[in-house]
Structure 1
Amino acid sequence: MNDKVLSIILGGGQGSRLYPLTESRSKPAVPIAGKYRLVDIPISNCINSGLKRMFVLTQFNSASLNRHIKNTYHFSFFSSAFVDVLAAEQTPDNKGWFQGTADAVRQSMHHALRHDFEYVLILSGDQLYQIDFNEMLQAHIDTNAKISIATIPVTEKDATSFGILKTDDKNIITSFIEKPDASLLPDWTSPVSEEMKNQNKNHLASMGIYIFNRDLLVELMGDESTIDFGKEIIPQSIDKYKTLSYQFEGYWTDIGNIDSFFEANLGLTDDIPEFNLYDYKQRVYTNARLLPTSKISGTHLDKAVIAEGCIIHAAKIQRSVIGIRSRIGKETTVINTYMMGNDDYESLNQIANSKIEILAGIGDRCFIKNTILDKNVRIGDDVRINGGPHLENQETDQYVVKDGIVVIKKHAVIPKGFSL
């Protein structure tokens, strides 16, 4: 069955809601959990499900994404497996950028159709979840569906933020509404499990994960007036083609903005995190960097996730994720912070022979709270950054404040004694 499926991972648009993390990289290339990239999540879900033919579609700042995928996903020469990045390209038939999710697939179909497949699995590149796609595929085949949509039960409060589907008792979708007004929701409940009912999760939200039969997708892609799956193709197809709702009850979150990105990463520090990085059967793959172990001296750690290759002398790290090759100086406190780490080490010779005033990482006697530190930042000694709702939204060359979260930009240098 696995050899009948081709996976297409949508890289998303410009990622403006994740700015400045997307200032110099595409959304799927944004680092998460200290050592991974967002794109590793859908790719890993596919690999764990035995689906090893994948296209990743992107058009903005795709250089680092290309590099990550090239360095990470190597398959046997004797295998048909691949992960290929398809960036928007001008052709004789098309001279424009991707206009939406469906348009991205349409423009890339000539690459897909070179392969033999019966089903297309379409995924988003900016979600955090662990799912066995074989179960969804089997349900699709067993019901003779033309389209299947992964859905997740949500509460009335959350339902207004999603595309909501209505199903019959056989999980066949009968209607769809995009981000409904709260007053409409009593008419948009669907059959869910007793466990979900007990949590008041009676509405089914689309997860943006689709299975299409090959012939139907080719037919739908012929209509160039439709540019988006969620807004056009799905609502227009429900009445015409048998569309299955595949209910998923595990952890799933859409990394749509800085706030959800921040909370998803800090959630990994919980004693039993909702997203389980320690599941051997659902492992998350990424670049095997062969880094040394982390070295920690005199630091009080409380709910801290520390990636490999770090050198830490901090006084305290609390509810924080510390990424690869991070350096944190003496008497420094880090709270509620995601530090992405560094791409390289500064050697002792470089430090001794150069005029680097501020080393990569965080200096001595600093206080960092409610902050995201992008890759390769340099924070001088005695810096105080205290994020929170008391700060107004603002942007400078070195940092952005969004909803109380301070984001230090990639390669930014924060001078000694700075306070925010």
Structure 2
Amino acid sequence: SLPVDLKDGNQFGVMQIDETRRIINFREKPADPDPIPGDPGRCLASMGIYVFNTKFLFEQLCNDATNSNSAHDFGKNIIPQVVQTHNVRAFPFRDRDTNQAQYWRDVGTLEALYEANMDLVAVQPPFNLYDMSWPIRTYHPPLPPPKFVFADLREGHSRAGFALDSLIGQGGIISGGRVEHSILSPNVRVNSWAEVRESILLSNVTIGRHARIRRAIIDKGVQIPEGMEVGYDLEADRRRGYTVTESGLVVIAKADATTVPRDLD
């Protein structure tokens, strides 16, 4: 469990606990979340992490499956029911030394997903991928390191491949393009004179020459044509069928993609 601003409580499962941390009430995404006693500006949110005995969980799922009045939703039905009939406890997600809430982000919306990723490119990120005392155990594909090519900085040319305040995945090639404050997944290619700013590019994306990308999330395998602009004219992006959030974040899914040959520049 984690305290969140009361105004954001309608995005989470919200609970009330007693002095022993037993959960006495649980509501999924309530319109009027209950504040923490003594802390009226915050409520206690579920992080969506649960620990069950396998047999018990199976029994609860079976019971819910036969309930014709249930929406068969974990947060809306099963957890509230179990809280009323069994001893369910909350675990506060706090640092043992400072007693402060540890880093955690809900990524249930496009905005939240974007912000959580952008956290990683900070000079001192709250969640540090480079903390060798807490290695991340995951699969690393057998790909070459990222490469930055072309360094023509003559006036009027500016064909230089570089990245600033960014994370560049394995196999990426910044081929005379510019990347700023962005996250590029493996095998992304940014071609000459292209610009990528404040964006998240998933694996195997290609950005064509002279294209400009700003505040966008681009899905796997999408190939952006030469000279195309994304994130600069939001009405044009909407007309193309792209998802545009209230804050102006543009999302290009595979189904929205315009493909061009992935030739070398």
TM-score interval w.r.t. the shorter chain?
0.7 to 0.9
Deviation at 1:281, TM superposition (A): 4.6
**Pairing 1:184-203 to 2, within 5 Å after superposition:** 185=34, 188-190=35-37, 202-203=42-43
Query: Matched residue of 2:81: which SS?
Result: helix
Cα contact 2:15–2:27 (8 A) shared by 1: yes
Cα 1:241–1:274 change in 2 (3 A) is same
Q: Which residue of 2 aligns with 1:219?
A: 59
Note closer, same or farther for the CA distance 1:326–1:203 as it changes in structure 2 (3 Å cut). Answer: same
1:162 aligns with 2:12: yes
Corresponding residue of 1:239: 84
Give the counterpart letter for 1:257 in structure 2.
T
In structure 1, the partner of 2:123 is 271
Structure of greater relative contact order (alpha carbons < 8 Å, 6+ residues apart): 1
1:311 paired residue number: 173
Distance of 2:249 and 2:139 partners within structure 1? 28
Which of the numbers 207, 211, 216 marks the counterpart of 1:371? 216
Using the size of structure 1 for normalisation, the TM-score is 0.51
Select which of 242, 247, 251 maps to 1:400: 242
8 Å contact 2:237–2:250 — kept in the other structure? no
Partner of 2:152: none
The one-character-per-residue Cα deviations of 1:262-306 (angstroms, maximum 9, x if unpaired) are 222222211122333223354334333111111113334321111
Q: Which amino acid aligns with 1:383?
A: M
| Contact persistence 1:268–1:275 (CA under 8 A) | yes
Could you tell me which residue of structure 2 aligns to residue 127 of structure 1? none
Match of 2:140 in 1: 288
1:212–1:190 distance in 2 versus 1, CA, 3 Å: farther
Deviation at 1:201, TM superposition (A): 6.7
Tell me, in whole angstroms, the C-alpha distance in 1 between the residues paired with 2:22 and 2:237.
44
CA deviations 1:129-184 (Å, max 9, x no partner) are xxxxxxxxxxxxxxxxxxxxxx11111121222221111122111112333334x6
SS of match in other structure, 2:90: strand
Number of residues paired by the alignment? 236
Deviation of the 1:321 alpha carbon: 0.6
Rounded Cα–Cα distance in structure 1 between residues aligned with 2:169 and 2:114? 17
CA pair 214-338 structure 1, distance change in 2 beyond 3 A: closer
Within 5 A, what are the aligned runs for 1:67-78?
none
Q: Does 1:250 align with 2:92?
A: no
Structure 1 residue 316, shift from structure 2 partner: 2.5
The structure richer in strand per residue is 1
Q: Distance in 2 between matches of 1:334 and 1:278?
A: 24
After superposition, residues 55-70 of structure 1 pair within 5 angstroms as none
Identify the residue that residue 13 of structure 1 maps to in structure 2: none
Query: Do the aligned residues in 1 keep the contact of 2:2 with 2:44 (CA within 8 Å)?
Result: yes
Q: Quote the offset at 1:392 in angstroms.
A: 7.6
Q: What residue ranges of structure 2 are gaps of 5+ in the alignment? A: 94-100, 150-159
Deviation at 1:312, TM superposition (A): 0.8
Q: Is the CA contact 1:341–1:361 (under 8 Å) kept in the aligned structure 2?
A: no
Deviations 1:69-113 (A, max 9, x none): xxxxxxxxxxxxxxxxxxxxxxxxxxxxxxxxxxxxxxxxxxxxx
Summarize the Cα distance change of 1:333–1:219 in structure 2 as closer, same or farther, 3 Å threshold: closer
Cα distance in 2, alignment partners of residues 394 and 266 from structure 1: 24
Contact 1:387 1:405 in 2 (8 A): no
CA distance in structure 1 between the aligned counterparts of 2:180 and 2:74, rounded to whole angstroms? 41
| Amino acid of the structure 2 residue aligned with 1:373 | I
Structure 1 or 2: more helix by fraction: 1
The answer (yes or no) to whether the contact 1:395–1:401 under 8 Å persists in 2 is: no
What TM-score do you get using the length of structure 2 for normalisation? 0.77
Question: 2:22 pairs with 172, 188, 205, which one?
Answer: 172
Partner of 2:154: none
In structure 1, how many angstroms separate the alpha carbons of the residues matched to 2:259 and 2:86? 56
1:186-245: CA deviations, max 9, x gaps?
Answer: xx3158xxxxx7xx8742111121112344324323312252221112111223211101
